[in-house]
């Protein structure tokens, strides 16, 4: 170390303290300038480049892959009576619907759909505020209702997931929740009967009676 040291005094002196002239080493400067150059590329790439990605992009891509696995056999679903009844008749999909419901909807509608004071309505009775037919459940879930009191779910869930959630919400009708909230809205006709549940796990052939 002492061999490389340049024991030249700088020539100034304060209170008897004198300073050696030891410049920062070359490798230190290299790292310093390299980090400046790197930062320019960093800012250009992450803040201005169209090819960089965000955490939201990665989430969306992961979601797409996950949906492809989950819905691989059924393809793209529409918010139609046919597709909602098809999901509702499939116990495997209803199990997925239940977990989506518990993760997002139960906070307002209660875990058994019985509703909660001051927020989500009872989904188990025959009274509906925003639905006349089963497809309306998909529309309420997608677009929300009552100025956001029921939040729109179109950003959070893919279309297939919203069809599944509509089917799960429909399946809650007629069940007996622990603490049912008083009915709200109008009594509507029963849901149309859908295809029979398919225990084999094969893709279902919808046999709905139509509208
Ligand atoms: C922040 C609380 C909240 C969350 C979360 C929420 N809801 Fe709601 N939901 C409501 C409220 C409040 C209403 C009643 C809106 C109104 O007054 O018209 C409602 C209405 C509904 C309706 C229509 C019922 C009717 O009587 O017309 C359905 C179906 C529904 N929600 C399903 C869901 C599903 C499925 C989820 C989860 C993806 C969910 N909700 C999440 C608060 C919530």
pLDDT tens by residue, 19-62: 888 888 999 999 999 999 999 999 999 999 999 999 989 988 99
Say yes or no: 40 and 94 in one domain: no
* Domain contains 117: yes
Ligand 1 center from residue 120 Cα (angstroms)? 5
Instruction: List, for residues 192-202, the tens digit of each pLDDT value.
Output: 987 766 544 44
pTM of the predicted model as reported, rounded to 2 decimal places: 0.75
Say yes or no: 25 and 123 in one domain: no
Say yes or no: 153 and 134 in one domain: yes
HSE-up (13 A, CA, CB side) for residue 9:
7
Nearest protein CA to atom 35 of ligand 1, as residue = 165
* Domain contains 74: yes
Say yes or no: 171 and 85 in one domain: yes
Say yes or no: 44 and 60 in one domain: no
Task: Tell which one of 79, 121, 163 to mutate to probe ligand 1, the residue whose CB is within 8 A of the most ligand atoms.
Answer: 121
Ligand 1 center from residue 91 Cα (angstroms)? 23
Ligand 1 center from residue 5 Cα (angstroms)? 75
Q: How far apart are CA 161 and CA 128, in angstroms?
A: 22
* CA 12 distance to own-chain centroid: 65
Say yes or no: 129 and 33 in one domain: no
CATH code assigned at 181? 1.10.760.10
Ligand 1 center from residue 104 Cα (angstroms)? 11
Domain count, the chain: 2
Say yes or no: 28 and 87 in one domain: no
Instruction: List, for residues 120-149, the tens digit of each pLDDT value.
Output: 999 999 999 999 999 999 999 999 999 999
Domain range enclosing 107: 56-187
């Amino acid at each position: 170390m002492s061999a490389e040291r340049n024991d030249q005094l700088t020539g100034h002196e304060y209170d008897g303290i004198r300073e050696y002239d030891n410049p920062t080493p070359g490798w230190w400067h290299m790292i310093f300038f390299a980090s400046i150059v790197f930062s320019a590329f960093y800012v250009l790439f992450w803040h201005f480049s169209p090819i960089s990605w965000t955490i939201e992009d990665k989430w969306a891509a992961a979601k797409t892959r996950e949906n492809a696995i989950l819905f691989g056999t059924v393809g793209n679903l529409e918010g139609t009576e046919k597709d909602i009844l098809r999901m509702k008749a499939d116990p495997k999909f209803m199990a997925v619907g239940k977990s989506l419901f518990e993760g997002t909807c139960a906070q307002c509608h209660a875990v058994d759909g019985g509703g909660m004071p001051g927020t989500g309505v009872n989904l188990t009775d025959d009274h509906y505020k925003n639905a006349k037919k089963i497809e309306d459940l998909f529309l309420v879930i997608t677009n929300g209702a009552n100025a956001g009191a029921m939040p729109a779910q179109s950003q959070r869930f893919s279309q297939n997931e919203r069809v599944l959630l509509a089917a799960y919400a429909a399946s809650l009708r007629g069940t007996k929740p622990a603490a049912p909230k008083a009915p709200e809205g109008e009594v509507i006709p029963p849901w149309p009967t859908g295809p029979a549940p398919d225990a084999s796990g094969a893709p279902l052939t919808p046999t709905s009676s139509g509208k």
